[in-house]
Amino acid sequence: MKLLTDGAIYSQLMMMKDGYTDGHHGAWIMDPPVFGYAFQSYWDAGYQIHIHNNGDAGMEVLLGELEKAMARNPRTDHRTVLVHFGFAAPEQVSRWIKLGGIVSANPYYVTALAGRYAKLGVGPERSANMVPVGDVMKNNGSLSFHSDMPMAPAKPCSSSGRGQPQHGRRSRDGATAQGLGRRSAQAVTIDAAYSIQQEKKVGSIEVGKDANWTILDQSPYAVAPQKLKDIKVWGTMLEGRVQRFE
């Protein structure tokens, strides 16, 4: 089940604890009491819950509901997924991981928005720490990447490149981000499968799993991180049937 807290990052309607530098306000997609009622109801029914959230104020509401649910009706391996992960403080990330939450992040936000938002609405300090994937890793959390197409290109190799430290240290518009190194390759494979409870079926090459693969013409580990986006797809395999791209 997917629920939503605050507004979109592209429209700067995410709910921010310190507001916006130009005085405008974010917006709730689901008002907190409504969100809380829905979250607790689906939690008690045993659903895996995915939550669209972008701002640190929205994150605080989400954390409050997960803490309440775990105290009232503890569940193991619930894998509640924080989707998008635009802004979050380190202590919020730590709390989320300790509660058993996992993260599905969009690393493209840094490239597309951080430089612009440093000048408009958000400010340089907060924009410099958009999509804090490094904080997830510091807390040994589960992290996957998504494109949120059409909000970002549906290009997994490009997403992996954006999770690399060489890309993340400084983008062309001066924004910074946290890098993952080679760990980012897992974010579009086995950890993505884990986020939707399919890791026993897809996400890695193992006996007994579906033979659904993308075959690249170069190893992602053999090229510089900034070149990941240039790797071409040799072909695909669907349930063992190979389709080569000409």
List domains and CATH numbers for the chain: 2-203 (3.20.20.140)
**Average pLDDT score over residue span 16-35:** 97
In 3D space, the residue among 217, 220, 90, 126 whose CA is nearest the CA of residue 164 turns out to be: 220
From the centroid of its chain, how far is CA 211? 25
pLDDT of residue 181: 58
Query: Model's pTM, two decimal places?
Result: 0.86
Which amino acid belongs to residue 67?
Answer: E
The Cα 64–Cα 71 span in angstroms is 11
**Average pLDDT score over residue span 20-34:** 97
Sign of the CA dihedral running 236, 240, 241, 246: positive
CB 144 within 8 A of CB 103: yes
Q: What is the pLDDT of residues 112-147, one digit of tens each?
A: 899 999 999 999 999 998 999 999 999 999 999 998
Q: Please report where in the chains the tokens 């897992």 appear, as a residue.
A: 186
Buried b (16+ CB within 10 A) or exposed e, 233-243: eeeeeeeeeee
**Average pLDDT score over residue span 190-197:** 94
- 1 token code pair: 């089940």
The Cα 116–Cα 245 span in angstroms is 37
CB 16 within 8 A of CB 127: no
